Amino acid sequence: MGYVAIKGGEKAIDGAADALEALRGGGQPSGPDPLSLDAIEHQLRLLTSRIMSEGGLYHPKLAALAIKQMQGDTLEAGFALRAYRSTRPRLLETPPQDTGQMRLIRRISSAFKDIPGGQMLGPTHDYALRLMRFELAEESPEPFRKMAAQFLQNAPTDTLPDSFPKVLDALRKEGLLPPKPAHRNPAFDITRDPLIFPVSRSAALATMARAETGSMLAIAYSNMRGYGDVHPTVAELRVGYLPVMLPHPVTGELTEAGEVLMTECEVIAMYEPDDTDTGKDAAPEFTLGYGACFGHNETKAISMAILDRALQKGMHDGPANASEDPEFVLMHIDGVDSMGFANHYKMPHYVTFQSDMDRLRATRSKHQERGQDQQEVSHESEL
Amino acid sequence: MTHPTRSVDWPPARSQWLRYWSALPAEQAEALAANIAGQCTVKDLTLPQRGLGLLKLPDSALNDLYFLGEVPVSHAHVAVVTDDGRRSEGGARLLDDRQSLAWALAVLDATLAARLPHHEQALDLLRTGMAKVQETERERHALLAATRVDFSLLGDGSEDDNE
């Protein structure tokens, strides 16, 4: 592949940017009001979540700005957030944070109906009919603003704990899962170090955590449909706010510096005695997959957990299908990478294509000559 | 609506101060810090900074450490010295890219830690911030309490009882 510098077109490029802005304005002086970042952040909260996780930066306001600037293009919005983060200095690496301390707004299990602390559906479309609510098309501001207050007024006043025990910990206590091993390796920084295969699981988890939701879903779906055999059960799916603890500059004591909305999913897969590395005589135990991402994005967390389990199997036994192949999965799920590659085909390739045409002409000419030679040979042999 | 409120120690531990102060609009802390800085000497012990931090988590399946992504971080570490020579150090590390807010909270942290002049206002802000945090907690608990579910197994007869 080749590129060539071109000149000219500056006026047209400026014009293209202006044209894009003109369409954002609605095309008429009496067009709609501009979107506020607050409206995007809250009314399109799932989209904002997606951009934060795919951009790899937890910044709801900037994610909302990226959505506004890119006019709803999720891939471009994620790209903008990544570009922004690349301009900022790296100040620190947090100590390992405990997701058991998440302040939950949703918590379900498809493995057990009774889980310690109980199941809470939280905000979800899961049980709603996918019918259009036409009344939203003409929504008036006053009832809209009262919705949250009304919900709180009618909500039960149960006293609830801030955090809940994890389902996996209960299974570990029963001995159905191996005990949690000690931290093994340092975390891999995918923003500074390239993926060189074979990669650590840490690198795989970080790559999937900022991957494009649709790409992850597509490959995980291939596993679910039969190109793989994870057969997952969701042990626990949690959505909530993780308090981030950093050392206080004076006392050194861990102090809450803020919180991050995240989704976390653990899946239980079929048991395999060999996967425990304790030998073939070991008692069979369930195997696990793990998924997590910034914001509220359950599809992504579940897809990641399935792919994590598939990749563990592929790393252990060798890949038997695409979703178990670390290189196939991890090199094809990044939205910025894949969108960039696809869209670069729109850019001028005049020299490359000219070269392709020259090669085709030369090949056709040789082909023609060879045809003529063969005709002459066959003509001579006939004589 | 009345919600049960859990009792909280007062004043809260220093490790909770940043959480409460940062629940309020930044202008409130910045205004108080500017007032304190107008009457005391505030020295930066390290240069206030803003940038990013890598958020490290252990995965809950196999306990491998990994980075979920990056978070905005601002940092300030100051010393506040009063006219009569009393000196106190304060600091703030926040998940927020407003360096001015980190600096302001570091000033409040130093002021309250040594009960310097204006610490009462810092304490008032702490009380307001704590109320705001408790309000947010109530809203989140409402999301859970209103959606608590008991999935009965199909076929055990419990669903038929209501029909």
**What is the interface pTM, i.e. ipTM, of the complex?**
0.93
User: Cβ B65–A185 below 8 Å, yes or no?
Assistant: yes
pLDDT at position A138 over 50: yes
- The minimal CB distance from A93 to the residues B53, B63, B72 is found for B53
Question: Do residue A90 and residue B54 have CB atoms under 8 angstroms apart?
Answer: yes
Reference B67, options A262, A207, A213; nearest CA is A207
Per-residue CA distances from A24 to A17, A72, B33 (Å): 11, 10, 41
Q: Calculate how close chain B gets to A342, using CA atoms only, in Å.
A: 25
Contacts of A32 (CB under 8 A, 6+ apart): A26
> For residue A102, what are the CA distances in angstroms to A40, A165, B17, B101, B106?
24, 10, 19, 25, 26
Question: Looking at beta carbons, which residues of chain B come within 8 Å of A107?
Answer: 144
B67 touches chain A (CB under 8 A): yes
Which residues in chain A have Cβ-Cβ distances shorter than 8 Å to B146? Answer: 151, 154-156
Residue A206's closest CA among A77, A53, A103? Answer: A53
Residue A5 pLDDT? 66
Show me where the domains of chain B are located. Answer: 14-137
B17/chain A closest Cα distance in angstroms: 9
pLDDT at B2: 37
Look up residue B40 and give its DSSP letter.
Answer: S
CA A73 to chain CA mean position, Å: 15
Tell me if chain A has a CB within 8 Å of the CB of B43.
Answer: no
Whether residue B149 lies within 8 A of chain A, CB to CB, comes out as: yes
Residues in CB range of B124: below 8 A, 6 or more apart: none
Long-range CB pairs of B37-43 (<8 Å, 24+ gap) are B37/B107, B39/B83, B39/B117, B39/B118, B40/B80, B40/B81, B40/B82, B40/B83, B40/B116, B40/B117, B41/B80, B41/B81, B42/B78, B42/B79, B42/B80, B42/B81, B42/B107, B43/B78, B43/B79, B43/B81
Which of B68, B88, B108 best probes binding to A when mutated, by most A CB atoms within 10 angstroms?
B68
The pLDDT-based confidence of A346 (bands split at 50, 70, 90) is very high
Domain ranges in chain A? 10-85, 99-122+149-340, 348-383
Query: Model confidence over A22-71: pLDDT tens digits?
Result: 999 887 777 788 999 999 999 999 999 999 999 999 999 999 999 999 99
Q: What is the mean pLDDT of residues A323-329?
A: 98
Q: Which of A53, A95, A293 has its CB closest to that of B56?
A: A95
Res B1: pLDDT:
35
Provide the 10 A C-beta neighbour count for residue A33.
7
Q: What is residue B11's three-state secondary structure?
A: coil
Nearest Cα neighbor of A294 from A62, A72, A5, A87 is A62
Q: Sorting pLDDT into bands at 50, 70 and 90, what band is B163?
A: very low
Asked if the model's pLDDT at residue B105 lies above 70, the reply is yes
Query: Tell me, what DSSP letter sits at residue A174?
Result: T
Per DSSP bridges, beta strands A233-247 and A254-269 are antiparallel
DSSP, residue by residue, A194-238? ---SSPPHHHHHHHHHTS-HHHHHHHHHHHHHTSS----EEEEEE
pLDDT of residue A49: 98
pLDDT in tens, A152-183: 999 988 888 888 999 998 888 888 888 888 87
How does the average pLDDT of chain A come out, rounded? Answer: 92
B-chain residues within 8 Å CB-CB of A252? Answer: none
**Peptide linkage before B25 cis (omega within 30 of 0):** no
Rounded to the nearest angstrom, the minimum Cα separation between A341 and chain B is: 23
Residues B143, A122: C-beta atoms closer than 8 Å: yes
Q: Is B140 on the interface with A (CB under 8 A)?
A: yes
Q: Which of A181, A253, A260 sits opposite B63 (nearest CB)?
A: A181
Q: What is the identity of the amino acid at A328?
A: F
For residues A98 and A379, the model is more confident at A98
Is the CB of B57 less than 8 angstroms away from the CB of A97? yes
Instruction: Decide: B93 and B73 in contact? Cβ < 8 Å.
Output: yes
Closest residue in chain A to residue B64, using alpha carbons only: A183
Q: Residue A258: list chain B partners with CB under 8 A.
A: 22, 71, 94-96
| Interface with B, mutate which of A255, A315, A316 (most B CBs under 10 A) | A255
pLDDT band, very low/low/confident/very high, at B3 (cuts 50, 70, 90): very low
B44 touches A: beta carbon within 8 Å = no
Based on the number of CB atoms within 10 Å of its own CB, is A176 exposed (0-12), middle (13-18) or buried (19 or more)? middle
- B residues 79-118 closer than 8 Å to A (CB): 89-97, 106, 109-110, 113
- Cβ atoms of B91 and B84 closer than 8 Å: no
Mean pLDDT on A285-310: 96
User: Measured between CB atoms, which of B56, B59, B93 is closest to A93?
Assistant: B56
Cβ distance of A188 and B67 shorter than 8 Å: yes
C-alpha distances (whole Å) from B42 to each of A193, B18, B89, B117 are 40, 19, 10, 13
Give A232-282 pLDDT, tens digit per residue. Answer: 999 999 999 999 999 999 999 999 999 999 999 999 997 765 544 555 567
